[in-house]
Structure formats: structure tokens, C-alpha cells
Amino acid sequence: DEEKRIATLIIGNIDDRGYLTTTIEDISKEENFTHEQIDDILDTIQRLEPLGVGARDLRECLHIGVG
């Protein structure tokens, strides 16, 4: 249930261009999840199709695409 809640929060904060519009810190503060929990779920989301969705900026998106 926690993983589903974190995923929902992350996906709800992805804009039309596919970028994450909030920070892990903000999600952590607002919902009382650890940075590690959020990072793990974000990593999973970023590896879904289209690859790189949920990146915080273009640099991270390109890194995901080659890494």
C-alpha cells in the first residue's frame, strides 16, 4: 500500500512533458516517507515506457536513456 501511495504521488506530479514537478524532499515531508522509499519507486517509474518519464530535468532523462 505504501508503494502504491508513493507511485500515485509521483505520477500525480508529472507534467505534460513527462518531468517530475516536485522534489523527493517535498513528498517525504508531506507524506512522511523516507527518501529511499521514494527513490526506489521513482527509479521504477523512470524505467517504464516511455523511458525517462518522471525525470527531474533533461539531463537526468538522457542519463536514464543511456544508463
Tens of pLDDT along 7-55? Answer: 999 999 999 999 999 999 999 999 999 999 999 999 999 999 999 999 9
**3-state SS track over 29-42:** HHHCCCHHHHHHHH
Cα–Cα distances in angstroms (integers) from residue 45 to residues 21, 50, in the given order: 14, 10
Residue 19, phi then psi, degrees to nearest 5: -95, 145
- The one-letter amino acid code at 16 reads D
Is this structure's pTM higher than 0.75?
yes
Report CA 27 to chain centroid distance, whole Å. Answer: 10
The cell numbers describing 6, all together, are 508513493
Encoded amino acid at 31, one letter:
E
